[in-house]
Amino acid sequence: MQSLVNKMDGAEFTAMLTAGFTALCAKEEEVNRLNVFPVPDGDTGKNMRMTYESGLKLLKENGARTVGDAASVFAKGALLGARGNSGVILSQIFKGISQGLEGCESAAADDVIRAFGCGVEKSYKAVVKPVEGTMLTVFRACSECAADCKGKIDSLPQLFKRVETCCLSAVKNTPFQLEVLKDAGVVDSGGAGLLCIFQGYLNYFTGDSDYGSAFEELFTPANMAEIAATKDGEFGYCTEFLISLSAGKQNFSTEELIARLESIGGESIVALRDGDIVKVHVHVQTPGDVLNIAQQYGEFISIKIENMSYQHSQLVEVGSALAKPEKEKLGVALVAVADEGGFKDLFYDMGADCVVSGGQGMNPSVSDFLKAFEQVNAKDVIVLPNNSNVFMAANQAAELYKGNVHVLPTKTVAQGYSALSIYNNEEDISVTLSDMQAAISSVISAEITHAVRDAKCDGVEIKKSQTMVIVDGKVAAANDDLLTAFKDALSHLDMEDKCVITLFCGADCQDTTTEQMQGLINSDYPFLEISVVQTNQPIYDYVIAVE
């Protein structure tokens, strides 16, 4: 669109957003494959696409005459449709952009530059302590590049050309900022998704229909040759509390509180104020220091502290929340996430009130969780995300929901299974949460699948098509033979005080292989009771829980 140079109105802004969506869709599968683990479950491209699509859907349903209105409607839709960590972060980028464009009839280059700065500020607040080499730092680089053009460039095509060029460079640099990407031989997938979107914007202005030329540069032999260990997850406490502000504290600032929590090593900080009530969520090594700071502002209404392992993760149908109609409404209800296979039915049989469709490769949205919370209609809602890439959307929904929602840090369905096995909706909620957290902490979970490409993860060399065993989020073994890989993985596990091992068999597992695995366990770990559960999970041949 060569004639569109200096300004765009609401309709043109909507058309530009649509072009970005087209470009992202064109490279969705390539973005999915930029997964640190070489397993067939990469979903960053899909999460970003579905998040973006939700924003466009709401915008096209409602329409908008001005740029400010269009940006606001799009951001709202993206937030409600946000899926996975990448989707939530993308929605926050556009929420910030909408704030920067608020009140604008049309947008010129300087308006876009200002909005990008707001997008950086908003998205960084979603992940308070970001790791260099993620989509956050890629977008920040784009915003800084745009800011350098302020007052110098009036042409929107020229501005987006600068941004696209900077974005490509920033994405190429991600493996040299984040070791886990370098070892896996990939660039950051979320950053690559942003590159697709920005190329779509540029193409809208230039009339170019070649989606992906810049993207393809990420995979040139020269670039891939430069990309050659894994960063341990950080351990700490998930600390949440409500405080009632004291008299004289009406000038309280959430930004000030966040800054103080950051100064003591706080991560994943969310601080929201509603009148005199402040709700805070933070991951920290020293929860006592958090409480000492918070108490200076007012009186505690409630406190929840959970010992957990926090692993930063940057990280196609819409997942639906289907509650059993015959399940009576309780004071306490449990919402779990599981795929449409055997785990969904299994979780219902074990007492879940609502199972949201999703999991690895199909992350539910914030809106899906909100629908589930409304459907169970309970005083207290316990959530089992059962996937580290679902945790962020569940927390975002919990913040938006007007009720008590307790998101437990289950990162695998095996942990969810263990937590659900001791769930008691008639027990005091604090006791139930404590018991479930203890069950989660006691579980060693593992998944067995096949590698879709060569890679090096967690110090393990992996060849395409090999059997790969992932234990508690880290690659433990890879081998051409499944049983050998399984035996190697078992040797890495701390079996002290463990009593039971459960094998959840996937859609492609063979009975003879399962029997051979049972034989290995009986031979090497005769003290373990073996339980076999048939499920139909599509990604992993086996999911294993040791507790």
Q: What is the CATH number of the domain that holds 342?
A: 3.40.50.510
Q: Which residues make Cβ contacts (< 8 Å) with residue 380, sequence separation at least 6?
A: 331, 332, 333, 403, 404, 405, 406, 429
Kindly report which listed range (86-100, 101-115, 343-357) carries the lowest average pLDDT score: 343-357
315 lies in some domain: no
Which residues pair with residue 357 across a beta bridge?
338
Domain boundary among 195, 226, 257: 226
Q: Are residues 248 and 331 in the same domain?
A: no
Do 180 and 54 share a structural domain?
Answer: yes
Q: Name the pairing type of β-strands 380-384 and 332-338.
A: parallel
Residue 205 to residue 157: CA distance in whole angstroms: 6
CB burial string 337-346: b at 16+ within 10 A, e below: bbbbbbbbeb
Residue 92 lies in a domain: yes
- SS3 of residue 94 by DSSP: helix
Token pair recorded at residue 75: 């951001």
Q: What is the pLDDT of residue 38?
A: 59
Residue 527: how many other CB atoms lie within 10 Å: 7
Do 258 and 355 share a domain, yes or no?
no
pLDDT surpassing 80 at residue 44: yes
Q: Domain of 260?
A: 234-310
Tell me the C-alpha distance between 306 and 287, whole Å. Answer: 10
HEC letters along 275-288? CCEEEEEEEECCHH
Instruction: Give the whole-angstrom CA distance, residue 525 versus residue 519.
Output: 10
pLDDT score recorded for residue 342: 63
Could you identify the residue written with the tokens 């449709």? Answer: 81
Percent over 90 (pLDDT), the chain: 13
327 or 460, greater pLDDT: 460
Does the pLDDT at position 325 exceed 60? no
Residues 13 and 153 occupy one common structural domain: yes
pLDDT at 320: 35
Instruction: For the chain, give the mean pLDDT.
Output: 80
> Amino acid identity, residue 25?
C
259-283 average pLDDT score: 74
The reply to whether 222 falls in a domain is yes
- Tell me what pLDDT residue 151 has: 84
Q: Please state the φ and ψ torsions of residue 530, each to the nearest 5 degrees.
A: -105, 130
Is residue 223 within 8 A of residue 172, CB to CB? The reply is yes
Can you state the angle between helices 84-100 and 109-126, rounded to 10 degrees?
Answer: 140
Number of domains present in the structure of the chain: 4
Which range (113-117, 402-406, 472-476) has the least confidence? 472-476
Q: Residue 332: beta bridge partners? A: 380
Which three-class secondary structure state does DSSP give residue 370? helix
pLDDT in tens, 363-400: 888 888 898 898 888 899 999 988 888 888 888 888 88
Per the CB < 8 A criterion, the answer to whether 401 and 380 are in contact is: no
Look at 117-126, 175-184, 316-325, 384-393 and tell me which has the smallest mean pLDDT: 316-325
Tell me whether strands 455-457 and 444-450 are parallel, antiparallel or unpaired.
unpaired
Q: Are both 94 and 13 inside the same structural domain? A: yes
Do 301 and 416 fall within a single domain?
no
Q: What's phi and psi for 464, nearest 5 deg?
A: -55, 135
- What's the first-to-final CA gap in the chain, in angstroms? 61
Domain end residue (candidates: 412, 442, 472):
442
- 160 and 11 together in one domain: yes
Same domain for 220 and 289, yes or no, is no
What is the distance between the alpha carbons of residues 310 and 233, in angstroms, rounded to a whole number?
A: 6
**Distance (Å, rounded) from C-alpha 329 to C-alpha 4?**
56
Confidence (pLDDT) at 253: 78
Kindly write down the DSSP assignment for every residue of 427-447, as one continuous string. Answer: S-HHHHHHHHHHHHHH-EEEE
> What is the spatial distance between Cα 472 and Cα 28, in angstroms, rounded to a whole number?
28
Same domain (yes/no): 205, 242:
no
User: Of the spans 88-92, 148-152, 176-180, 532-536, which averages the highest pLDDT?
Assistant: 88-92
pLDDT average, residue stretch 464-492: 83
| b (16+ CB within 10 A) / e for 110-127 | bbbbbbbbbbbebbbbbb
List b or e across 275-307, with b for residues whose CB sees 16 or more CB atoms inside 10 angstroms: eeebbbbbbbeebebbeebbeebbeeeeeebbe
Residue 1, in any domain of the structure = no
* Other Cβ atoms closer than 10 A to 100: 22
> Which spans in 350-470 are helix H?
366-376, 391-400, 413-421, 429-442
The residue among 445 and 229 whose pLDDT is bigger is 445
Label each residue of 468-486 as H, E or C: EEEECCEEEEEECCHHHHH
The answer to whether residue 309 scores a pLDDT higher than 70 is: no
pLDDT at 327 over 50: no
Closest to 245 in 3D by CA, of 203, 277, 223: 277
Average pLDDT over residues 19-34: 86
Q: Domain check: are 195 and 64 in the same one?
A: yes
What is the spatial distance between Cα 276 and Cα 282, in angstroms, rounded to a whole number? 20
DSSP 530: E
Residue 281: its pLDDT value, please? Answer: 67
pLDDT number for residue 361: 61
Answer yes or no: do 252 and 213 share one domain.
no
From CA 47, how far away is CA 35, in angstroms rounded? Answer: 13
Cβ pair 43, 538 in contact under 8 A: no
The residue type found at 483 is L
41 vs 452: CA distance, rounded Å: 10
Q: Do residues 105 and 190 both lie within one domain? A: yes
Domain-terminating residue out of 310, 339, 361: 310
Which two three-digit tokens encode residue 211? Answer: 């989606």
CATH number of the domain enclosing 492: 3.30.1180.10
- Residues contacting 135, CB < 8 A, separation 6+: 86, 89, 90, 188, 189, 190, 191, 193, 194, 314
> Using an 8 Å Cβ cutoff, are 335 and 372 in contact?
yes
pLDDT computed for residue 389 by the predictor: 81
Token pair for residue 515? 């029997």
Q: CATH no. for residue 90?
A: 1.25.40.340
**Is pLDDT larger for residue 302 or for residue 434?**
434
